[in-house]
Copies of this chain bind each other. A is one copy, B any other.
């Protein structure tokens, strides 16, 4: 009647005993590697014993000994933001293939949380990190880097005097937003507006900068039509759009910093009795799944987050494998203008 008593998990020593060999032999056959060759008969016996006892490697012990944890960390602001699940999924798939686990951290884009996370990451002894830093700078990654933990950053980094070996992957938001505004939002010399998040988010500032440049080129007054809702969410978009609608003159086109905000803006516009795109052209950014399902379907910019995640993970593993050495790489990934009915 042993019942639910906690059973100590089997170790290599247990397997060795069961197979009548030494623990070293067990380690060798389990790792396959090593320069030692093992007799086939012995190997079979060990494997059988391991399987029999339900042996599973103790990651902590292995990690302590080898310095490799077989875990990679991902830092994102908020998994609830529809852009990131696909990004995470892309990473996860690659990591999975390589036998790596994924430790996930949400930072909310807040610096204190980002810093705490960085320490957790060190504590966990992960082998590599993929980060979407919002407030962090390159310098903050220095400790990790110095300890030999490769880091891949998603987004454009503020260059600093010393550039550590740090890979980054990014999409040219500035160019994409510029195209979008010029070709889809602009309707001659009419006011166009933008709804954006609170603006402390480096990664997305390219979007706002592109909008500003457009205004300058057209000689349009700046700031007048820029509404910064608090959160980069649907609620934020709704609030910001209502603010825009309350001002005069009414914008004839609106660019939202992301699709969620655009969706919120859409609701606000509809509630105001105006139509998209007839009264106001509206476009977003990200091409989240539902952008296509909105009514009208949303014109936006696709960034292929899953592919971004996969590529980021590949870059990380190239560092872990030692396939790629030396200077940090900056990889630009393509975007695509998705023209639908809203603009």
Contact = CB atoms under 8 A, between A and B. Distances in A.
Q: Which size bracket describes the interface of A in this complex?
A: 35 or more
A59 B82 CA distance: 32
A139 interface: no
Interface string A51-69: 0001011111101100001
A281 B147 CA distance: 60
A6 interface: yes
Interface string A79-93: 110101110110010
A122 B9 CA distance: 10
Given A59-B124, A125-B60, A234-B293, A89 B79 contact: yes
Given A89-B80, A145-B4, A103 B106 contact: no
A294 interface: yes
Contacts of A289: 234, 260
A290 interface: yes
Contact of A7 (B119, B146, B263): B146
A165 interface: yes
A71 B6 contact: no
Nearest to A56: B122
Interface string A269-295: 000000000000000000001100111
Contacts of A120: 101
A272 to B, nearest CB: 15
Interface string A134-146: 0000000001011
A144 to B, nearest CB: 10
A161 interface: no
Contact of A6 (B69, B119, B148): B148
A125 B79 contact: no
Contacts of A8: 147
A337 interface: no
Interface string A146-160: 111000000000000
A82 B8 CA distance: 39
3 shortest interchain CB distances as A-B pairs: A295-B295, A60-B63, A6-B148
Contacts of A6: 146-148
A130 to B, nearest CB: 13
Interface in A83-125: 84-86, 88-89, 92, 96, 101-106, 119-120, 122-125
Contacts of A264: 293
Contact of A102 (B82, B85, B103): B103
A251 interface: no
Contact of A60 (B69, B89, B106, B119): B69
Q: Select the residue from A82, A84, A86, A146 with max chain B CB neighbours within 10 A.
A: A146
B234 A147 contact: no
A93 to B, nearest CB: 8
A108 to B, nearest CB: 10
Given A59-B60, A59-B123, A294-B295, 7 more contacts: A4-B165, A6-B148, A7-B147, A56-B122, A60-B64, A64-B64, A101-B120
